[in-house]
């Protein structure tokens, strides 16, 4: 039972945007630092592992980030061809 749910969660992390991953990471850190998790080790370990995966996702996104530049033409957006320097 925990196996499919966790693998599903992993998959979702892969699809997360930076903001989504960061905000969940933030709430996991707060939860782990708070007292709520104190009595449930298994849950804490799950949270911790998910937090690590989220941090990894954020880090990958930051390192791979590339400025996306689009141009408005009328009502539509098209990628901007930048002249090389």
Please tell me whether residue 60 binds another protein under the rule CB under 8 A.
no
Distance CA 24, CA 70 (A): 29
Backbone angles phi, psi at 21, to 5 degrees: -65, -45
- In the list 5, 29, 36, 46, the residue contacting another protein (rule: CB under 8 A) is 29
Distance CA 72, CA 60 (A): 29
Q: Site residues (CB under 8 A) for another protein?
A: 18-19, 22, 25-26, 28-29, 32-33, 37-38, 41, 44-45, 48, 51-52, 55, 58-59, 61-62, 65-72, 74-75, 77, 80, 82-83, 85
């Amino acid at each position: 039972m925990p196996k499919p749910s966790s693998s599903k969660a992993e998959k979702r992390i892969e699809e997360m945007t930076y903001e989504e991953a960061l905000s969940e990471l933030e709430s996991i850190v707060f939860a782990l630092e708070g007292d709520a998790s104190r009595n449930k080790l298994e849950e804490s370990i799950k949270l911790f592992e998910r937090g690590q995966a989220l941090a990894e996702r954020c880090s990958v996104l930051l390192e791979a980030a590339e400025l996306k530049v689009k141009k408005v033409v009328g009502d539509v957006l098209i990628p901007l061809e930048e002249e090389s320097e």
